[in-house]
Amino acid sequence: MATKKTKKPAVDAPMDKRELPPIASKWVRYLLGFSVSAAVGLAPYLGRVHVPLFTPMLTMIPLSLQDTAIPTASACMGLVAVLVQWGRSRRPKDWEIGTALVASLFSLLIFVGLEMTTVAHIDVPAVNGKVSFAVGLSTPNKPPCIGLGRDECIAKKLNLDESYIDSFFGDTQTSLAKLWLVLSYVGFMTCFGLVVGLLVLRDSNN
C-alpha cells in the first residue's frame, strides 16, 4: 500500500520587492549618477585618492576641516554636473565662460589669501612633517605667549592642542577663519568645475 506523501509546509517566501514607478526609478538613477558618481570620479581632484606627483589643494586646509570640505565640495560638483546636463542642448556664450573663469580666479585668490594669513603651519620634527591650524588674522598678546610669534606660541606653549589654540586665539575668530577657508575652497572647486563644464558644452554643440 502506497504511503501518502505528507506535504511539507511551505517556506515563507520573502516579501516581494515593490519596484519604483518609472519616474521615481529614473530619479534615483539620476540622483546617484550626479552625486555618487561625480564624487567618486573626482576623488583624486578632491584629494581623497593619492596620485603620484599631484598635490591636491585640500592639503592647504587644516586636517580638522577636511572632513567638512570634501563632502561639501562633492555636493557642489554634483550640482555642476546637473547644470551641465541641463544646458546640454545649447551652446554657452563667451561671456558666460568668461564670467565663470573670472569667478574661479577670484575665488582662488581669496582662498590663497586666507590660507596664507589665517592658517598656521607648524613643523613637527618628531614626525618629519607639518600640522596646520586655522587661527584667524590676529594673535593676542597675552599669557602664555607674550612676546612670542604665532607659530612659536602654538608649538611651544599651546602644545599643538587645537582646543587650547581655539581658546587662546578666540573661538569666534577661529570659527570664522575655518568657515571662510571652507567656503573659499568650495567656491573655487565649484567655479573651476563650472568652467570645465561650459567648455565641454561648447565643444559638444559645435
Which pLDDT does position 116 carry in this prediction?
A: 95
pLDDT of residue 117: 95
**Residue 68, domain member (yes or no):** yes
Phi/psi at 54 (nearest 5 deg)?
A: -125, 125
Task: Give pLDDT, residue 6.
Answer: 53
Q: What's the domain count of the chain?
A: 1
In the predicted model, residues of the chain with pLDDT beneath 50 are 1, 11, 13-17
pLDDT score, position 16: 46
What pLDDT is recorded for position 167?
Answer: 95
pLDDT per residue as tens digits for the range 53-63: 888 888 899 99
Which pTM value belongs to this model? 0.83
Determine, yes or no, domain membership for 6: no
Domain membership of residue 24 (yes or no) is: no
Per-residue model confidence (pLDDT) at position 18: 62
Q: Is 1 among the domain residues?
A: no
Q: DSSP code of 137?
A: S
- Report which of 132, 199, 134, 143 is spatially closest to residue 166, judged by C-alpha positions: 134
Is residue 75 assigned to a domain? yes
Copy the grid coordinates of residue 205. 554643440
- In-domain check, residue 119: yes
Residue 14 lies in a domain: no
Task: Determine, yes or no, domain membership for 13.
Answer: no
- Parent domain of 136: 29-204
